[in-house]
Amino acid sequence: AQTVTQSQPEMSVQEAETVTLSCTYDTSESDYYLFWYKQPPSRQMILVIRQEAYKQQNATENRFSVNFQKAAKSFSLKISDSQLGDAAMYFCAYSRAQKLVFGQGTRLTINP
Amino acid sequence: DAGVIQSPRHEVTEMGQEVTLRCKPISGHNSLFWYRQTMMRGLELLIYFNNNVPIDDSGMPEDRFSAKMPNASFSTLKIQPSEPRDSAVYFCASRPTTGGRNIQYFGAGTRLSVL
């Protein structure tokens, strides 16, 4: 079974600084998708960024980018110029055949 | 589009009572998913439907849980009888079965408290 591991239960960063959240996963498949979802205190699950495993180029969405290392099965999220609104739980997720498998999450705190 | 709509937002009930959670997926989305989020187990997939047909219910914890999708715009998750350990946040998500970049869109969740 596929598993997703987020080894950092909590992270904090100064406003305007850069932070990287780690994620590793385990799969024997070659074709799959990886996601980062954000869950603010409102509880809503919000898609941050998506990566297709067959693409070597790392996905970027404005201040958010990933470092996708397929051989190492690593998928980290970098947040540049951190803002107070980035404070949330961040979940890494793996998907193949429609099902999403989530990591345990990383709580990100932004210090003003 | 209004997004995935779940109701109620909060539900408080007593042990032994029947609980029904409701979900309206995004129009045009053919796949619907029910997840449960707890501190101990994180986010778990309970069941998902394609074109109103249940495809995989292996995550449903026990027979007390049942889910239906009578049409493309409505699904329910029922717990009967409810127990305190069912207390969690329940999410519904939807996505197009084909295309759609494999992205699931989540509702705001229902926080269930069973006393």
Q: Dump pLDDT digits (tens) for B7-49.
A: 999 999 999 999 999 999 999 999 999 999 999 999 999 999 9
Would you say A67 and A49 are in contact if contact means Cβ atoms under 8 Å apart?
Answer: no
User: What pLDDT is stored for residue B35 in this prediction?
Assistant: 97
Rounded to an integer, what distance in angstroms lies between the CA atom of residue B94 and that of residue A36? 17
CB contact under 8 A, B91 and A50: no
B28 burial level (CB within 10 Å; 0-12, 13-18, 19+)? exposed
The DSSP output letter for B94 is E
Rounded to an integer, what distance in angstroms lies between the CA atom of residue A98 and that of residue A86? 28
Q: Dump pLDDT digits (tens) for B68-108.
A: 999 999 999 999 999 999 999 999 999 986 765 788 999 99
Q: Dump pLDDT digits (tens) for A32-62.
A: 999 999 999 999 999 999 999 998 899 999 9
**Distance (Å) from the alpha carbon of A43 to chain B's nearest alpha carbon:** 6
Q: Which of B102, B105, B111, B112 to mutate to test the interface with A (most CBs of A within 10 A)?
A: B102
User: What pLDDT is stored for residue B99 in this prediction?
Assistant: 66
pLDDT above 80: residue A94: yes
- List CB contacts (< 8 A) between A106 and chain B: none
Query: What type of residue is A30?
Result: S
CB contact under 8 A, B95 and A95: no
User: What pLDDT is stored for residue B86 in this prediction?
Assistant: 96
Closest partner residue to B31 among A42, A98, A104, by Cβ?
A98
**Distance (Å) from the alpha carbon of B60 to chain A's nearest alpha carbon:** 14
User: What pLDDT is stored for residue B100 in this prediction?
Assistant: 59
Q: Dump pLDDT digits (tens) for A63-86.
A: 999 999 999 999 999 999 999 999
User: What pLDDT is stored for residue B1 in this prediction?
Assistant: 63
pLDDT band for position A2 (cuts 50, 70, 90): confident
- List CB contacts (< 8 A) between B33 and chain A: 98, 100
